[in-house]
Structure 1
Amino acid sequence: MSDPSRHHYIPAFYLRQWATNGFLCEMRKIRGKIVVHSKSPDGTGWKKDLYKVEGVAPEFTQHFERVFMHMVDSGAAKAMRSFIGGNIDVPVTDRDAWIRFLLSLLFRNPEAVAEITGQVLTLYRESVQRLRENYDELRPP
């Protein structure tokens, strides 16, 4: 299986509940004009390689999307099916999965990912610089 490059910040499982005949209405502002498209839930709410990690071994570049986000979304999809099905006795694991999903929505959008990435890079560069400046004092005998 190849690594996914479409990283959904609004997961398709979540969007499907609003689809009519399998499609959603997507509105975008392009060159100052609002353009409306009909899209499937899989075809919207994503950005190419949004969670791709650069500078690591190739087998780990998509690890966050492939492992972590998959875990978050699959657990939330299961919980959502229980909620929509009217199940009032939802297991704690499903409720936890739903909360994890809701919290992920705060941080998984392109703007938040860019901000977090910038902050992490700044911290990394500052830490490396401090280590270089203080190496002689910090290194063990």
Structure 2
Amino acid sequence: MSEDETRKHHYIPVFYLKKWLSKNNAKNDSLTITEFQKTPAGVKYKYKTPAQTAYGIDLYRRDDLPQSIRDVLEKKVMSIIDNEASIIHEALLENKIPNNTHDRSVWARFIMSIIHRNPERVYDLTHSFEKSMQMVSEDIRKNYGKYRNDTNPHSYQELEKQLDPFQNGYDFSLLLSNLMNDREFGNVLEHNPI
């Protein structure tokens, strides 16, 4: 797989898009998806393969993480969700309803991931998270004397030196992963027939 291919983070997984393939062009026999795009000039369409659509370059990449794990959301969260869900998806297409907790959890997690993984949602979550972290940091900086206890450094500047520069990246990755694994919403999906 080329570097460009690994940078394509699909917000609608390829396995799911494959089920929408059709022969769209009388000039050739290839199966494609019709991708519609709203432009100032009107709605335009293109024929694409599942790998060529519904992705963002580095959509889940976190530059506030160490280099070796910047793609952790794509490689360790989304890919696992998608790989497991693709098996359940095939069963559903054969009218086989998941009848055990594991399979229902896998499908519920996939549905929750679709809600949270699109570019607009990732952008909104990222900016809301960053704004919240700035507000928290500013509050701690202003009120450090009130919050400080005997185990903390004497000044806020000393505290800042001890902070992990990647902490926000870790926290955001955990936030997005937890949203896709929300137990309350998952329980609703898991325990109600499809």
Q: TM-score when scaled to structure 1? A: 0.90
Contact map agreement 1:27 1:37 (CA 8 A) in 2: yes
Residue 17 (structure 1) aligns with: 19
> After superposition, where does 1:74-89 map in structure 2 within 5 Å?
74-88=83-97
Matching of residues 52-67 of structure 1 within 5 Å = 52-67=61-76
Shift of 1:85: 2.4
CA contact 1:4–1:66 (8 Å) conserved in 2 = no
Single out whichever of 73-82 and 19-28 deviates more from structure 2: 19-28
**Is it true that 1:50 corresponds to 2:52 in the alignment?**
no
Provide the C-alpha distance between the structure 2 equivalents of 1:75 and 1:95, rounded to a whole number of angstroms.
11
Distance, in Å, in 2 between the alignment partners of 1:15 and 1:40 is 9
Contact 1:4 1:62 in 2 (8 A): no
TM-fit CA distance, 1:22: 3.2
Per the alignment, do residues 125 and 88 of structure 1 end up closer, same or farther by CA in structure 2, a change over 3 Å counting? closer
Instruction: In structure 2, give the amino acid aligned to 1:5.
Output: R
Correspondences of 1:125-140 after superposition (within 5 Å) = 125-140=134-149
Q: Could you say what secondary structure the match of 2:82 adopts? A: helix
8 Å contact from structure 1 (residues 22, 41) kept in 2: no
Question: Gaps (5+ residues) in structure 2?
Answer: 23-29, 151-194
Alpha carbons of 1:140 and 1:88: their partners in 2 closer, same or farther (altered >3 Å)?
closer
Q: Residue in 1 aligned with 2:7?
A: 5
Task: Give the CA RMSD over aligned residues.
Answer: 1.9
Q: 2:44 — aligned with what?
A: 35
The amino acid that maps onto 2:65 is V
**Aligned twin of 1:116:** 125
**Matched-pair contact (CA < 8 Å) for 1:4–1:65:** no
Any conservation in 2 of the 1:47–1:110 contact (CA below 8 Å)?
Answer: yes
Q: Is 2:72 the partner of 1:70?
A: no
For 2:68 and 2:110, the matched residues in 1 are separated by: 25
Report deviation, 1:103. Answer: 1.4
Q: Is the 2:88–2:98 Cα contact (8 Å) retained in structure 1?
A: no
In the alignment, the residues of structure 2 paired with residue 72 and residue 134 of structure 1 have an alpha-carbon distance, to the nearest angstrom, of 42
SS in 2 for 1:23: strand
Q: Deviations over 1:50-70 (max 9, x none)?
A: 111122211121101110001
Larger Rg: 2
* TM-score computed with the length of structure 2 as normaliser: 0.67
How many residues align? The count is 141
Q: Deviations over 1:116-141 (max 9, x none)?
A: 11110011001111111122222222
Please list every run of 5 or more consecutive structure 1 residues that lacks an aligned counterpart in the other structure.
Answer: none
**% identity of equivalent residues:** 28
